Amino acid sequence: MKKLISSLMVALGAAPSAAQAPDKIEVIDIKSIRFTMPTVAADELGFVMPSTKSFEGAPQFHEDEWAQVEFFPANRLSEIQKRLAEYKAFERTHRGANGWTDIYARRISRAPVLVGQSAADLLASTLHGQRLPSPILTTASRPLGQVEHGFSIRLSDKVHLYGLADDAGVNVLAALLDRGADDAALTNAFTAISKSNNVVLVDWRSQMVLVSANKSGAIDVWRP
């Protein structure tokens, strides 16, 4: 654990590292650059250095994965539908054999998805999940730090909810599904949350919205 923390501190510039030789400068044709992901959230996140306690159990994932699957209040459905229709056209236009020529940055105003100072704790209790520290985001080469004002909830070994919370409530509520995760865990969470909060669940890359769940458990899905 100490070794992991030390490595993280070095990567974040909070601890000295061994001297490195200057990198070789290489000229790249900008037209040849391809993005490996067609869309990312453009949230302005703050980061802090994790402590030993906050590091333990915190989900760690690439910054591009932030809010790729996320909840919104149902009264924003029409806004989300317009965004998805716009994104679908953008993605098709810029898709190539080896990636995308441009990336669709989602700049979305944030407002409480769940209201109340204790909304994150109540959510964990409702879903019988384990409350964990805020996520730690990384790039391809180094960690960025632990998300400030963040939280996470473990639903299963491979499924977590996470987001941002303040005194007003949970302003970002997203889901992280590791490789091989059971989608049913997230679907069940959506159904449970929907019983007390009017929300929709958006999967941006799959271009779909879970709109509602009826009493029999059937899910109403919308696609652009």
Residue 150 covered by a domain: yes
Contact 9, 49 (CB under 8 A): yes
Q: Please give the tally of structural domains in the chain.
A: 1
* pLDDT tens per residue across span 161-201: 999 999 999 999 999 999 989 889 999 999 999 998 999 99
Which among 168, 161, 78, 174 has a CA at the least distance from the CA of 118? 168
68 is in which domain, residue-wise?
46-92+111-222
Residue 16 covered by a domain: no
Mean pLDDT of the chain: 88
Cβ-Cβ contacts under 8 Å for 103 (sequence gap 6 or more): 35, 37, 38, 39, 40, 94
CA pair distance 176, 191, nearest whole angstrom:
17
pLDDT value for 3: 43
Residue 10 covered by a domain: no
CA pair distance 154, 58, nearest whole angstrom:
10
Residue 194 covered by a domain: yes
* pLDDT value at 220 more than 60: yes
Residue 120 covered by a domain: yes
CB atoms within 10 A of CB 51: 11
Contact 31, 52 (CB under 8 A): no
Residue 196 covered by a domain: yes
- Reported as a pLDDT band with limits 50, 70 and 90, residue 13 is low
* pLDDT value at 33 more than 80: no
Rounded to two decimals, what is the model's pTM? 0.84
* pLDDT tens per residue across span 103-112: 999 999 999 9
* pLDDT value at 62 more than 50: yes
Residue 143, classified by CB atoms within 10 Å of its CB into exposed (0-12), middle (13-18) or buried (19+), is buried
Residue 117 covered by a domain: yes
pLDDT value for 15: 54
Q: Which residues of 163-200 are buried (b: 16+ CB within 10 A; e: fewer)?
A: bbbeeebbbbbbbbbeeebeeebbebbbbebbeebebb
- Reported as a pLDDT band with limits 50, 70 and 90, residue 140 is confident
pLDDT value for 98: 81
- Reported as a pLDDT band with limits 50, 70 and 90, residue 68 is very high
Residue 147 covered by a domain: yes
Residue 150, classified by CB atoms within 10 Å of its CB into exposed (0-12), middle (13-18) or buried (19+), is buried
- Reported as a pLDDT band with limits 50, 70 and 90, residue 1 is very low
**Structure tokens that stand for 37 in this block:** 């992901």
